[in-house]
């Protein structure tokens, strides 16, 4: 009984460490357990470094529900259920009212709900709690929403084998019409879009109109999510046999040397192909070319938009998470944007989050196990980011 009780306590403390915003790096031996696998940015990358004020009551209730469930059923820790991964057709949508409703449903009969369900609820509550001080800024990101495009593509794939809608579909189906208008409103005013839609509908020109919108939307809204930003940094490169080596000097005095060695090695492994690889060169001085990694005690890991020579890295993340987070943040240093979408719908009071489904094995889109750097990214770097001396 003593051994079993000690095991229950150890397992409970393990989960508490994973849930806490502060704590020591968890040993990599737990990487194969449920709570360190298949995690998206939902739980990996907190966007809000400090939340003012008291935690919301619903967040406290959900946290307590999870902790009690873990305490009473530690064997659930070894469940292999997947953490939700969200795409454009199945986004994560969180509101305080929605959290309360889901909490009421689960807490009324907790014994019939799995630990994975309760963990998923906690993840959503944590995300909303972390972002509550930044909802104003996130409201402005609603224009980044690209779901109308994917909804339109999905609807047309449902209509025909070749994925094309007919003129009559565009004219008569309300959902299709709404998505067409939403696409248009990405570029023009609502009144202009309604007028143009009705004119083309009468002329039976909706098919061509939609094709033009889809092409423009793809080029201006979606393709840019997978391209180097203008004004990106350049680095010294050398040719070694058939491979280009892009060298990044790193200054990180506040990070434990052994931890730094491990996370840089992982990042080098991710950002390597047969034609180009990244090589970090640790330095004791800061120059105009140096990338500085600054350890922070909790919260946000990020690269500032106005200084891509800096990486703020949460040193208290579990070992597998900190590896992937640094590899992702390195992508921002190199000049690649995020390819997940997150915004706050102020009218509906909902936080919306999703990854780009078609390319969600891209480390800049997702943090689930097995993500990697697309080969095209290495081509872009070789063509645009190398200074040969």
Interval 232-261: pLDDT, tens: 999 999 998 889 999 999 999 989 999 999
Residues 6+ apart with CB under 8 A from 352: 91, 92, 93, 145, 341, 342, 343, 344, 345
Q: Which of 48, 144, 90, 49 is nearest to 343 (CA)?
A: 144
Average pLDDT (102-127) is 89
Most confident among 4-13, 251-260, 363-372 (mean pLDDT): 251-260
> What is d(CA 246, CA 255) in angstroms, rounded to the nearest whole number?
23
Task: Give the residue, 305 or 38, on which the prediction is more confident.
Answer: 305
**Rounded to 10 degrees, what is the CA torsion of 59, 60, 65, 68?**
140
Question: For the chain, where are the alpha helices, taking DSSP H only?
Answer: 2-19, 41-44, 57-72, 96-108, 115-131, 135-139, 147-159, 167-172, 174-184, 190-202, 206-217, 257-270, 319-334, 375-384
The pLDDT tens digits for 70-92 are: 887 755 444 444 456 788 888 99
Which tens digit of pLDDT belongs to each residue from 158-202? 877 777 899 999 999 999 999 999 999 988 999 999 999 999 999
Go through the chain and tell me how many residues it has: 389
Place of tokens 């800024």: 137
Q: What is the DSSP letter of 56?
A: P
Q: With the C-alpha atoms ordered 275, 246, 301, 144, is the resulting torsion angle positive or negative?
A: negative
Least confident segment among 50-59, 72-81, 283-292: 72-81
8 A C-beta contact, residue 141 and residue 348:
no
pLDDT at 316: 82
Question: How many CA atoms does the CB half-sphere of 203 hold within 13 Å?
Answer: 11
Cβ atoms of 274 and 242 within 8 Å: the answer is yes
| pLDDT one-digit tens code per residue, 132-149 | 878 888 898 888 899 999
């Amino acid at each position: 009984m003593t051994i079993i009780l000690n095991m229950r306590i150890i397992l409970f403390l393990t989960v508490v460490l994973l849930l806490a915003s502060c704590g020591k790096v968890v040993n990599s031996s737990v990487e194969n357990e449920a709570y360190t696998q298949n995690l998206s940015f939902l739980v990996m990358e907190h966007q809000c470094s400090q939340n003012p004020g008291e935690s919301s009551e619903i967040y406290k209730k959900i946290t307590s529900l999870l902790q009690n469930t873990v305490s009473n059923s530690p064997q659930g820790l070894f469940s292999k259920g997947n953490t939700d991964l969200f795409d454009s057709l199945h986004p994560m949508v969180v509101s305080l009212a929605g959290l309360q409703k889901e909490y009421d449903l689960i807490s009324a009969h907790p014994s019939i709900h799995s630990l994975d369900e309760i963990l998923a609820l906690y993840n959503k509550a944590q995300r909303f709690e972390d972002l509550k001080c930044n909802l104003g800024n996130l409201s402005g990101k609603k224009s980044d929403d690209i779901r109308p495009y994917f909804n339109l593509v999905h609807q047309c794939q449902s209509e025909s084998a070749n994925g094309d809608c007919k003129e009559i579909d565009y004219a008569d189906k309300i959902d299709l019409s709404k998505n067409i208008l939403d696409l248009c409103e990405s570029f023009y005013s609502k009144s202009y879009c309604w007028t143009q839609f009705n004119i083309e509908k009468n002329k039976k020109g909706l098919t061509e109109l939609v094709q033009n919108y889809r092409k423009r939307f793809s080029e201006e809204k979606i393709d840019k999510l997978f391209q180097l930003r203008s004004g990106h940094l350049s680095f010294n490169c050398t040719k070694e046999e058939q491979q280009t080596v892009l060298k990044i000097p790193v200054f990180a005095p506040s990070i434990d040397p052994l931890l730094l060695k491990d996370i840089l090695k992982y990042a080098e492994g991710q950002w390597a192909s047969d034609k180009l690889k990244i090589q970090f060169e640790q330095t004791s001085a800061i120059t105009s070319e140096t990338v500085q990694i600054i350890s922070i005690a909790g919260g946000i890991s990020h690269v500032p938009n106005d200084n891509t020579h800096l990486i703020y890295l949460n040193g208290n993340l579990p070992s597998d998470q900190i590896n992937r987070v640094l590899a992702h943040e390195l992508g921002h240093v190199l000049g690649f944007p995020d390819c997940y979408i997150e915004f706050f719908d102020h009218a509906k009071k909902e936080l919306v989050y999703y990854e780009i489904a078609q390319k969600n094995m891209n480390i800049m889109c997702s943090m689930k196990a097995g993500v990697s750097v697309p080969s095209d990214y290495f081509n872009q770097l070789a063509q645009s980011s190398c200074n040969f001396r």
